[in-house]
Chain A
């Protein structure tokens, strides 16, 4: 791998093993050579103020001083994701008996999921590190984001997805050109294949494998935006969908960084994780009191969360337990009901992961694990148009009539 000498990645200074503390120079590494532990970016943050951030663009690059990206990152072609709306959800709150609730609606990103955030950071780092191809194993949303970002950047993409993926996600990737490979197997099989390819193809940046330390940092921007959009303060509670667990741990990291930088007041907050019962290894570990996660074979309609062997599972357990939150799971029927409830109360059509999060929110309120009097934020990580099959049986026309007023009246639709 030809690494540009002294890769310039803004405030990033090194890679440090989260397990054993071993430190490495910035480069195309992701696992510790001593213990296989995940490598995390270490930073030297210059004094960043609210005014610095507020003067930035209305996308994730307003936080570039807190990300492992070159200081001129916004001048190279990218999808400019982020700064999605934070919706005050009074009707959903009322339906669930909650006093103040917000939905961070990340379906508003360029390819309609939060993955545009992580891919934009991975792309910037991959360029700086000298990679030639942007690649990923994906459950769909990431495939869309990688293919679009690579098209915009004018580089090759190569994405690998399970062959049983929703057709919407396959088409919404293929349309951008690039290489799209469907693999006979589940996501964990695809992930394994990608890890093996990444070990051989030196020019390929698998965003969530060999450049994962950089990529994952992009999810911090969800946490930064929530705090800034609330008026530079933290919520009391947040419910986050859990697949690999990276998004949840990075939102927690973002809140901690804002506290340390003095950008928000230090206060307690609780982090909750949401899974589908058909793929709930982290929820099962939480409930059993374990600090390791036993892999499972996924079977759920929430395919974007169907990771049976979640890389950041142990760190989700750490963050949730440290903050006094919980991890809960809901059935596929509850996922569909969650999608419908969010759509019918707030006009937001979330994908299955959003249905999982709303379903878990309801369950946490009903079980008393979540305080209905405390301010709560939930994440809608993607767009329902990508998982239409999930609601095909329940989202139907009210009636079919002839094109006459008489038919309208007889159908009792007035």
Chain B
């Protein structure tokens, strides 16, 4: 599955400044692995040492916060929009 991933400002040093990149994978976990193969080092910014999503990062597949669905196992359909967004906002 080919998906589109929106990259937050603080990770654009890995993507040569691109705010949107393509990645492959049928689940969010696979998409992040795909990002890592293209942009070495980026996965460790999104996932903690135990491989879980970091506490202060929100990831959306389409409009859905993955924490409300299957987390890293959330399915990513062909053409899906994945957004990685800092959670420290609002209020």
Instruction: Say if the beta carbon of A157 comes within 8 Å of chain B.
Output: no
Which of B57, B58, B91 is most buried by chain A, counting CB atoms within 10 A of its CB?
Answer: B91
Q: Give CA–CA (A39, B9) in the complex, Å.
A: 15
Docked-complex contact B56 and A192, CB < 8 angstroms: no
Docked-complex contact B88 and A311, CB < 8 angstroms: yes
- 25 A-B interface contacts by CB (under 8 A): A31-B8, A31-B86, A32-B56, A33-B10, A33-B11, A33-B13, A33-B45, A35-B54, A36-B45, A37-B55, A39-B88, A137-B90, A188-B90, A192-B60, A192-B85, A196-B6, A199-B9, A208-B89, A209-B90, A244-B90, A246-B91, A295-B65, A295-B68, A307-B90, A311-B90
Q: Give CA–CA (A65, B42) in the complex, Å.
A: 39
Number of A-B contacts (CB under 8 A): 98
Instruction: Say if the beta carbon of B2 comes within 8 Å of chain A.
Output: no
| Minimum CB–CB distance for A320 against chain B, Å | 17
Q: Mark B58-89, 1 if CB is under 8 A from A, else 0.
A: 10100101011000000000000001011111
Q: Give CA–CA (A200, B83) in the complex, Å.
A: 14
Partner of A19, one of B56, B63, B68, B85: B56
- CB contacts (< 8 Å) of B13 on chain A: these are 33
Q: Give CA–CA (A188, B65) in the complex, Å.
A: 10
Q: Give CA–CA (A297, B83) in the complex, Å.
A: 19
Known A-B contacts A36-B57, A199-B9; the reply to A209 vs B89 at CB < 8 A is: yes
Instruction: Say if the beta carbon of A70 comes within 8 Å of chain B.
Output: no
Q: Which 4 A-B pairs rank lowest in CB-CB distance, beginning with the nearest?
A: A244-B91, A31-B86, A36-B56, A38-B88
Partner of A311, one of B10, B67, B89: B89
Write the chain B residue with the least CB distance to A30. Answer: B88
Write the chain A residue with the least CB distance to B46. Answer: A36
Q: Give CA–CA (A163, B53) in the complex, Å.
A: 31
Instruction: Say if the beta carbon of A309 comes within 8 Å of chain B.
Output: yes
Q: Give CA–CA (A196, B60) in the complex, Å.
A: 12
Which of B57, B65, B89 is most buried by chain A, counting CB atoms within 10 A of its CB?
Answer: B89
Instruction: Say if the beta carbon of B19 comes within 8 Å of chain A.
Output: yes
Docked-complex contact B89 and A212, CB < 8 angstroms: yes
- CB contacts (< 8 Å) of A314 on chain B: these are 55
Q: Give CA–CA (A64, B91) in the complex, Å.
A: 22
Docked-complex contact A199 and B56, CB < 8 angstroms: no
Q: Give CA–CA (A199, B8) in the complex, Å.
A: 6
- CB contacts (< 8 Å) of A212 on chain B: these are 88-89
Q: Give CA–CA (A30, B68) in the complex, Å.
A: 25
Interface size class of A (residues with CB under 8 A): 35 or more
Partner of B91, one of A33, A34, A195, A245: A245
Write the chain B residue with the least CB distance to A118. Answer: B91
Q: Mark A177-198, 1 if CB is under 8 A from B, else 0.
A: 0000000000111011011100
Docked-complex contact B19 and A200, CB < 8 angstroms: yes
- CB contacts (< 8 Å) of B86 on chain A: these are 30-31, 36, 195
Q: Which of B36-62 contact A (CB under 8 A)?
A: 45, 48, 54-58, 60
- CB contacts (< 8 Å) of B60 on chain A: these are 192
Partner of A196, one of B45, B48, B83: B83
Instruction: Say if the beta carbon of A379 comes within 8 Å of chain B.
Output: no
- CB contacts (< 8 Å) of B19 on chain A: these are 199-200
| Minimum CB–CB distance for B67 against chain A, Å | 6
Instruction: Say if the beta carbon of A312 comes within 8 Å of chain B.
Output: yes
- CB contacts (< 8 Å) of B56 on chain A: these are 19, 31-32, 35-38, 311
| Minimum CB–CB distance for A160 against chain B, Å | 11
Partner of B88, one of A37, A137, A189, A294: A37
Docked-complex contact B90 and A36, CB < 8 angstroms: no
Known A-B contacts A36-B45, A192-B58; the reply to A31 vs B88 at CB < 8 A is: yes
Q: Give CA–CA (A407, B47) in the complex, Å.
A: 74
Q: Which of A279-313 contact B (CB under 8 A)?
A: 292, 294-295, 297, 307, 309-312
Write the chain A residue with the least CB distance to B68. Answer: A295
Instruction: Say if the beta carbon of A243 comes within 8 Å of chain B.
Output: yes
- CB contacts (< 8 Å) of B10 on chain A: these are 29, 31-33, 36
Q: Give CA–CA (A311, B57) in the complex, Å.
A: 10
- CB contacts (< 8 Å) of B89 on chain A: these are 30, 137, 191, 194-195, 206, 208-209, 212, 311
Write the chain B residue with the least CB distance to A219. Answer: B91
- CB contacts (< 8 Å) of B11 on chain A: these are 33
- CB contacts (< 8 Å) of B58 on chain A: these are 192, 309
| Minimum CB–CB distance for A113 against chain B, Å | 13
Docked-complex contact B91 and A312, CB < 8 angstroms: yes
- CB contacts (< 8 Å) of B45 on chain A: these are 33-36
